[in-house]
Amino acid sequence: MRCLEAFGERIAARDPDRQTAEIHVRIALMNRFNALGTAEIIRVA
């Protein structure tokens, strides 16, 4: 949960359904950033 707070401080939406959608978007973005930052290991030889 600390990562979510650092990513956007607070949840802006008041409606519970919108809050859920907002959290899903944040998690998707964090997963994408992790994927971009992860090294791809390729076996040579």
pLDDT for the residue numbered 9: 67
d(CA 37, CA 45): 25
pLDDT for the residue numbered 2: 58
pLDDT for the residue numbered 40: 81
Q: Structure pTM?
A: 0.61
Q: What is the CA radius of gyration of the chain?
A: 15
Tell me the domain boundaries of the chain: 2-37
Tell me the CB-side half-sphere exposure of residue 12, using CA atoms within 13 A.
6
pLDDT, tens digit (0-9, with 9 covering 90-100), for 1-45: 555 556 666 778 888 898 899 889 888 988 888 888 888 888 887
pLDDT for the residue numbered 29: 87
